Structure 1
């Protein structure tokens, strides 16, 4: 029967085959898409509707080519090329969506796609792939797919048949289909609310800033008048200290920097020669155990300057930069990576005096830390006014450029592995080497950065903080990357404080050994003799904090760390998506998660306030 159809209606067969490929790819993607937390098959109807409308317009364009192009062979190849190009772009988009969900818990936005598309060559080089090979590979795939469409089994282009049918009815059908498709797409462009509510991927990509409430990467900011008023009240009543020691404040953040891969934290490899040298001379203060509030950049960076946990974030804040500005500071952010287009991250920093990130660089790839050094080299010498400077280094990140000769080989980027749900086998040595080489480069960049700042006078009297925004999975439990779960690999970060000038006689006092990102701001203000805002959750690590718990979360996982036994903290977390099941399972471990997991039954637990976990944990014995 199929052969009869091919012989009698070859154009119908080729049209059906192409439609099967298009919608088969879409259905496969939607099945994977629905497996991510917060995404369901409710998006399928909207997605398939938009795809159908776009394909309807495409059909008419293919038919128009056959009408307007006089040479039959040229029309066939142009139409086939157009079909192949659009299909590959759709498949590439699907890969990017899955990559975004795996890497940072969000559907990739159009600003990110366009930014990285313009920098595809250095991006390829950062992954060890020659740009020429990319061009050849993409070109070869495009040519092959075009040939398959143009020289298919039926050798009859359906567009040619539709174009040759010049009846009034067929023309009306084509015009009608084209009009309906365009109207559907335009209607969605004007009013995407329903599709955004269903989390349809095309809509999230194009209208990422219209999602019914502010969001920050994989988390949503609470729309709370109470929290907003609290921040505004604290800002209104805050009184700067006239006796404050207005030293310069320098914050250096390593993206995806995990503490246990730094020699300064006991890692057997010499990954931090500069920082280890300062440590051996007693020139820095080290927090032995520090955790991030989440497993991704945006909330980690916000926690540092807001001194708040993720569940306390709201639309307004009174943060560290605001406090320093009230004390007469100028604020400068010089950041590797694209913070401008990364889901509202630039806006989250608030008003600053000088802002620069990788998306603004013209001489370097946006994830190349040389752009930081180049920018600092062009700064004027320090004029004596107090400054706050924040730097973001991409060296440890899998998309960061590694310019130093590799210290550990073989070294191979694990970025493609981060797209997979699970990778069988033990952690790959080449991936660990690749990451460790990034840590070595981070340490080297810190050395150069400190040298430049010192030469320009910014370190004449200053506090320098070195930390990470989150950790990184390097094959633990078959996973790579971050924004996944709440294991120690993605939450344990370094937290170091340096006081300049380094030639001072007095050795730095010891800091409390357990801390969080939320403690950075209070510790800095304590060192400067400035009042700490009362609505902040962090505490100064120069004293023993009065709290008993630290909080963290990532996607559906929320939890805490019981720090009352400093030498043996207890970590507990749960999946809030399972709260409707009655008795809940709370996974807990002691110390560095090396002991067997225990299960505890918990009743009446609400996902809105993580502090409800505290009574359950405090009643447990290790």
Structure 2
């Protein structure tokens, strides 16, 4: 009998079916294997840690090239983050920045262009926005948006959706600063130097969120390195002997002694913050959650420290030391273990539209800033992009820089217009200290024209006709004090200053 298989039609059909079953089984096995190896979709959105310093200028870090300050932890973070090199404060003053951050809107829309103003409760506050998107919310430190006194109790209904609350309106007595918490109007005090105490509280809050099914959004709002500078930790001030501080070339030598004295404490505050931020980052590592936390380090505005002859402690002006701020974004799922530098400029109202775009969260219709998340997700730049910043009602600065202005920042230039017309033009890439005003140079006439068109387009988009300061004061019925802020008495209380505040306070 022949030992070869007999290939009947039935046998051939059965053979084909066996092969098909085998192939299908292998395919299913491969699919299961691939699915097992593929990254799992995160069960919840990443938590957000927003670290906000007060009056820390963009140039005052080691990674930005300052030869004096010691910021090893931030320097390392910068290597592992996306560094927005051209970030500016929409108005380089405390309250206006914070109002813009919390609303995603420009000061010309909200009327929040002076210190110590009340942010109307009709504005969609960021804590509420984040809560509506599934986050638990927390705020620690300086608030400066309630406008009813720097020592006034801020009840829960005026906290704009932040559930965990250890904050005060404003207190720069860093070694005995106060805060309120819970539903109690009783004033509490941070133990010792408040930077250290607030950092410890932030760590405790984060630890308490580990078992929470929701991600957290924590705002850690430090008061330093804002003056008074001499109150920085003494042991850190010793690291900056005034005689050894190297001043930039745009500080007049006649101001050298005064500036070095202030810079000693300023840099000591910066170093204390750097140590605390390093401690906080190490804690996230120890908990194993740094990889799943989106971290931002930035500031509300800068500090002149004598540059261009402007007194130390001043901000407000359109120059780089005042308007430009550090801005690091650390989120390893986006950029891995190494970071990169972004040249596309960003301003305050753009920050949360960009973060929400990055995290695929709905952006509120009320937001006026731009979503720049494509710069992050596509590893790209937006060529020719310009951002707007401004000063509606100048205060606290004597001399040529104490005036109203509108400005645009691009990757290469700073262009500023005053009420009298084109005022300042700096090539920031070639002249980072802004020593040479190019506004009247014939070779830059076309650049001035192009940037003025960009500025006009941005103002048109915001409906801002660039009026004198009094127009805006009259519109919002504001009466600032001698220093430009809303006046308050020795007890830190103020009278209502606007119709909306009177309505909120009633």
1:375, distance to aligned residue in structure 2 (A): 1.6
Q: Which has the higher contact order (CA 8 A, sep 6+)?
A: 2
Structure 1 position 369 matched with structure 2 position 175: no
After superposition, where does 1:121-160 map in structure 2 within 5 Å? none
By percentage of residues, which structure has more helix?
1
Paired residues of 2:236 and 2:272 also in contact (CA < 8 A): no
In the other structure, the counterpart of 2:262 is 431
Q: For 2:326 and 2:226, locate their aligned partners in 1 and report how far apart those are by CA, in whole Å.
A: 15
Q: SS at 2:219's partner residue?
A: strand
1:495 corresponds to which of 314, 323, 327: 327
Structure 1 counterpart of 2:485: none
After superposition, the Cα gap between the structure-2 partners of 1:505 and 1:468, relative to the gap in structure 1 and judged at 3 Å, is closer
Which among 349, 363, 383 is matched to residue 211 of structure 2? 383
SS of the residue aligned with 2:160?
coil
Correspondence for 2:435: 594
- Identify the residue that residue 354 of structure 1 maps to in structure 2: 164
Give the structure 2 partner of residue 56 of structure 1: none
Partner of 1:553 in structure 2? 391
Matched residue, 1:451? 282
Shift of 1:466: 0.4
8 A contact 2:87–2:325 mirrored in 1: yes
- 1:445-467 Cα shifts (integer Å, max 9, x gaps): 11112233444565351100000
Residue 60 (structure 2) aligned to one of 253, 256, 261: 261
| Equivalent pair of 2:85/2:341 in contact (CA under 8 Å) | no
Shift in Å, 1:509: 6.6
Q: How do 1:83-162 and structure 2 match up within 5 A?
A: none
Superposed displacement of residue 512, structure 1 = 4.9
Q: CA deviation at 1:407?
A: 5.4
Name whichever of 337-346 and 523-532 sits farther off.
337-346
Structure 1 distance, partners of 2:228, 2:102, is 25
Q: Report 1:241-256 matches (<5 A).
A: 246-256=45-55
2:344 is matched with 513
Q: TM-score scaled to structure 2, two decimals?
A: 0.59
Report how far residue 381 of structure 1 moved: 4.7
Match of 1:394 in 2: 223
**Tell me, which stretches of 5 or more residues in structure 1 are unaligned?**
1-241, 413-421, 576-583, 614-622
CA contact (8 A) 1:332 1:390 kept: yes
Unaligned runs of 5+ in 2: 1-40, 112-119, 168-176, 180-187, 244-251, 375-380, 395-402, 429-433, 441-447, 467-506
Deviation at 1:531, TM superposition (A): 2.4
Q: Which residue of 2 aligns with 1:5?
A: none
Paired residues for 1:147-296 under 5 Å: 246-280=45-79, 283-296=80-93
Q: 1:342 aligns with which of 143, 150, 174?
A: 150
Which residue of structure 2 lines up, in the alignment, with residue 442 of structure 1? Answer: 273
Name 2:138's counterpart in structure 1.
332
Which of residues 93, 98, 104 in structure 2 aligns to 1:307?
Answer: 104
CA deviation after TM superposition for structure 1 residue 506, in Å? 6.0
Matched position secondary structure for 1:373: helix
Mark the CA change 1:343 to 1:485 in structure 2 (over 3 Å): closer, same or farther: farther
Q: Name the count of aligned residue pairs.
A: 347
The Cα of 1:291 is off from its aligned counterpart by 0.7
CA distance in 2, matches of 1:610, 1:432: 40
Contact 1:336 1:369 in 2 (8 A): no
CA drift of 1:515 comes to: 1.2
Equivalent position of 1:233 in the other structure: none
Structure 2 distance, partners of 1:457, 1:349, is: 30
Question: CA 1:567 to 1:573, structure 2 compared with 1: closer, same or farther past 3 Å?
Answer: same
Shift in alpha-carbon separation, 1:454–1:301, aligned structure 2, 3 A: farther
Measured in 2, the distance between the counterparts of 1:537 and 1:472 equals: 27
Matched, 1:318 2:159: no
Cα deviation, 1:375-415, whole Å, max 9, x if unaligned, reads 23433252232111000123312236423433543359xxx
For residues 505 and 338 of structure 1, do their structure 2 counterparts lie closer, same or farther at Cα, with a shift above 3 Å needed? closer
Deviation (angstroms), 1:588: 1.8
| Aligned residue number for residue 14 of structure 2 | none
What is the TM-score with the length of structure 1 in the denominator? 0.49
Contact kept? 1:561, 1:569, Cα under 8 Å: no
Specify the SS of the correspondent of 1:447.
helix
Cα displacement (A) at 1:529? 0.9
State the secondary structure of the residue aligned to 1:532: coil
Q: Please name the residue that 1:297 is paired with.
A: 94
Q: CA 1:554 to 1:447, structure 2 compared with 1: closer, same or farther past 3 Å?
A: farther
Deviation above 6 Å: which 4+ runs of structure 1? 337-340, 599-602, 607-610
Q: RMSD of the alignment, in Å?
A: 3.8
The separation in 2 between residues aligned to 1:472 and 1:497, in whole angstroms, is: 22
1:423–1:342 CA distance, 2 compared to 1 (3 A): farther
Structure 1 residue 444: deviation in Å? 1.0
